[in-house]
Amino acid sequence: KIQQWVVASLPNDALSIENGIIIDRSRRWPLMIDPQRQANKYIKNLGRDNDSGIEVCKMSEKTMLKKVELGIQFGQWVLLENIGITLDPALEPVLQQQKVRDGSGFTIKLGDKSIAYLDTFKLFMTTALPNPHYSPETSVKVTLLNFAITPIGLEDQMLGIVVARERPDLEEQKNQLVVQNAKMNKTLKEIEDDILRLLATSEGDVLEDDTLVDKVTSSKEVSVDINEKKEISRATEKDIDEARESYRPVAYRTAVLFFCIVELTNIDPMYQYSLQWFQQLFGLAIDQSPKSDDFQQRLEILKEFFTEALYQNICRGLFEKDKPLFSLALCVRILKGDNKVDDAELRFLLVGPTADLVEHGPPIPAEWVGKVRWNELLTLSQLRAFAGFSSSFEEDLAHYKHIYDSVEADKEKLPDRWTARVNPMQFLCFIRAFRIDCLKSAIITFISNQIGQKFVEPPTFDIAKSFADSVNTTPLIFILSPGTDPVADVITFAEKLGVLKKFESISLGQGQGPKATKMIESAQAAGGWVLLSNCHLMESWMSSLEAIVEQLNPDTMSNHFRLWLTSMPAKTFPALVLQNGVKMTNEPPSGLRANMLRSYSALTDQLFEE
């Protein structure tokens, strides 16, 4: 059974398998916390193999209750997507399974009418909220399951993607073997069940029951044949797995990077990214990266190319103040993935001293050192790499005074006895303790030396690149900062592409919701652009915006349609829209070089011709 679930895209890690068993055996209907939409995909695939089929609908749909009603009557499975913090009260009888026996069957009261209840009916619910807080009243009515992705599960998924792109023959063989093994195991189980049923219903001497004897004889032949095939497939699967495993370093790097970007939401609620977006970017990076006949070199190219592509894409949607922080997080994640970071050193770098060691420690060696700095240095001395540092500090006091007085302390060297002993991360710890004002410069140098200069030079604002990454179902979101207004940039870009006549904009505020909805509906058919400004000012309409974006269907609207949104950072902005949208910021870049680059990027041949 578990093999069949894996065939239906259930992630093959321990937590997901446990979740699969609970879904299969639980009495209450499951409500799955599914920020990466894995459970969604699994339930849909499982439902396709179900005899009665599966009906998928969103909580925001007007026909949701009708679909649930039909599912109950015809014994279908029903999957409710994008559940919020509360459940529709009309679902109460279904959640409580308040069915009543009526003759040979059951009925259930839904709303003001009783309907027939078929036992093959199943209800599944998923929410894309990463950390929802459900009330006790809701929690006792459902089985809450956490389907948030695990590092091992993600690594296996990314391995599947890279092998499917690089060696499609291997991935296809692997998938065929998984399906074949699941079918063979199912056949063996059916044979065993048939024999047990015949034994249970047989009367008299079982050896004289021709039907049973014939069944056992034919079953033995089938069983022997299946077991022989399974042995062959095991050997083949072993060879395929060995070939697939050679791509494991790439899958590991991508999994490490995903958990780095997921944590960005702790910095700003607007920094949210979906697994589907991440995997799509990874697929594009594999296709666009330079090829190489040398296998090891190809693996390095894939890792470096995707890391850079991810950095460029994420930086487009970050505020200037957060870009160096993201570069550091990316660098530390990569080094931690390669086991090159000591946790105690990293903790000191990020947190610093957590206790006062000066009071009962050695005396402050000089007046210019000060109590706060000496406490930092005493805490630094507790790190294994800096053992004995506080006692040797006084001996080299003149050298440290020179570093203290230096304008660029991060460019100075430690005394000889420490220079050879201290690695770049440990030197950062020293700068943090001794000259914290130079820490940012030291971190930028550290990142540049560890993973490359390109990771400390964010891309300039380029609306054309962001537009190229979008499709008609992808909202383009400007995250605003005080004093910025990208409306003029969008209008100029629309004029450049010749869509200004089909461009409409509205500034959201009280009573503007219905107007915005009509604009979007007409633009979908005509292939126009709609710009909704200041979404943060209309919190009450955000659920409607989420429903509109959810129901964007590429088959029923023009390919040229685009939805542009602008908003200040706001916790009420829909997570679903953020995760699947193309995010941009339009702040003046920090530093003279970045400003010059931005100015030059705005120059065109047409400007010189004029």
pLDDT given at position 450: 94
pLDDT given at position 553: 84
pLDDT given at position 551: 82
Phi/psi of residue 125, nearest 5 degrees: -130, 140
pLDDT given at position 591: 65
pLDDT given at position 544: 87
Contact 267, 322 (CB under 8 A): yes
pLDDT given at position 227: 81
Contacts of 2 (CB under 8 A, 6+ apart): 17, 20
pLDDT given at position 593: 67
Q: Which two tokens stand for residue 601?
A: 């990027």
Give 156's Cβ-side CA count (13 Å radius).
14
pLDDT given at position 590: 64
Reference 298, options 250, 334, 239; nearest CA is 250
* Cross-strand partners of 234: none
Q: Which stretches of the chain drop beneath a pLDDT of 70?
A: 206, 589-595, 598-610
Q: In what order do the strands lie in the sheet with 582-585?
A: 503-507, 529-533, 562-567, 476-479, 582-585
Across 405-415, b (16+ Cβ under 10 Å) vs e yields: eeeebbebebe
Question: Tell me: the pLDDT tens digits for 531-569?
Answer: 999 999 888 888 889 888 888 888 888 889 999 999 999
Give 520's Cβ-side CA count (13 Å radius).
23
pLDDT given at position 217: 81
pLDDT given at position 48: 85
pLDDT given at position 601: 65
pLDDT given at position 511: 82
pLDDT given at position 300: 94
pLDDT given at position 540: 86
The helix/strand/coil state of 133 is coil
